[in-house]
């Protein structure tokens, strides 16, 4: 059975005066249960401190939606019987414990993001002077054993490192990404285009959030990299990011080395990274 090792790190960078990113990394490994992992990177934007609060509340909302999956069931807990159960006991029948249904991770991820979208939108609506246009990107991964459900809104990204190659799993919801896909600009112009910061899908918009959902089966040795644009815009070579991750002794070292490299290259934005390794 695959187990999970993960680490996270967020850094203000070299230019910004506030860190508006927020990250969450949680792993539950058990000898007799399927390992679970919840990993979130949010990059806040808008308003005076609005982005910082938007990313924080988005992460908190998603954590709440997944919290029951990470609670160990106490075998000594009192069994609550229904009237039907009592009649069975009186008749000498044995009660068979009910096996809990496996959660639909993809459905839960979608609902959690929609809840987070409402929370951020509601926060901004009630604080128009400080956070009237607050929003946040999100990239998240939920792992149930080797099965990963990856959800994305905005231009924070999730990559897969396998066999020395780093592959982008998610798709940016940005103007420049659309221009590239339509052939109007070249891929390397994503870093210099005057409207490279225009995001057309984010948490905090009115209405129902529509994340892109991806499924990925992890193999032993695979690594997932979740990051804000403060990382991938500063380390523009996927080969370089792969080299840093493979040379690190563990996910925590990989996080530090990736952040250091982004800061060395200018650190123009907040930098957040999560590295998850399947072992």
Domain borders along the chain are 4-70+102-278
CB atoms within 10 A of CB 128: 12
Q: Round to whole Å and give the CA distance between 227 and 23.
A: 9
E-strand spans in 67-195?
135-144, 147-153, 157-162, 165-168
Phi, psi of 252 (to 5 degrees): -65, -45
pLDDT, position 99: 47
Full-model pTM: 0.88
Q: Round to whole Å and give the CA distance between 245 and 160.
A: 11
pLDDT, position 77: 52
For residue 39, give the nearest of 242, 223, 243, 232 by alpha carbon.
Answer: 223
Which residue has tokens 């990559």? 159
pLDDT, position 158: 98
| Domain 4-70+102-278: CATH superfamily, name plus number | PPM-type phosphatase domain (3.60.40.10)
pLDDT, position 192: 87
Counting as low any pLDDT under 50, the low residues of the chain are 99
Tell how strand 271-278 and strand 4-11 pair up: antiparallel
Q: How many residues does the chain have?
A: 279
pLDDT, position 170: 98
């Amino acid at each position: 059975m695959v187990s999970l090792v993960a680490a996270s790190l967020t850094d203000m960078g070299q230019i910004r005066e506030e860190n508006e990113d927020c990250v969450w990394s949680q792993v539950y490994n058990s000898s007799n249960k399927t390992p679970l992992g919840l990993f979130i990177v949010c990059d806040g934007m808008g308003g005076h401190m609005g982005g910082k609060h938007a990313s924080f509340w988005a992460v908190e909302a998603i954590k709440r939606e997944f919290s029951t999956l990470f609670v160990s069931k106490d075998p000594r807990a009192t069994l609550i019987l229904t009237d039907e159960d009592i009649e069975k006991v009186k008749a000498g029948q044995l009660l068979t414990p009910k096996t809990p249904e496996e959660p639909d991770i993809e459905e839960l991820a979608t609902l959690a993001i929609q809840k987070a979208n409402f929370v951020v939108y509601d926060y901004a609506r009630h604080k128009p002077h400080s956070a009237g246009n607050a929003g946040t990107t999100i990239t998240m991964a939920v792992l149930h054993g080797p099965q990963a459900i990856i959800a994305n809104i905005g231009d924070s990204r999730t990559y897969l490192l396998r066999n020395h190659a780093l592959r982008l799993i998610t798709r940016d919801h940005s103007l420049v990404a659309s221009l590239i896909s339509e052939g109007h600009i070249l891929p390397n112009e994503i870093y210099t285009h005057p409207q490279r910061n225009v995001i057309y899908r984010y948490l905090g918009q009115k209405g129902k959030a529509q994340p892109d959902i991806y499924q990925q089966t992890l193999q032993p040795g695979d690594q997932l990299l979740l990051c804000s644009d403060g990382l991938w815009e500063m380390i523009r070579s996927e080969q370089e990011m792969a080299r840093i991750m493979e040379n690190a002794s563990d996910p925590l070292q990989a996080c530090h080395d990736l952040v250091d490299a982004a800061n060395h290259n200018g650190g123009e934005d907040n930098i957040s990274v999560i590295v998850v390794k399947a072992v």
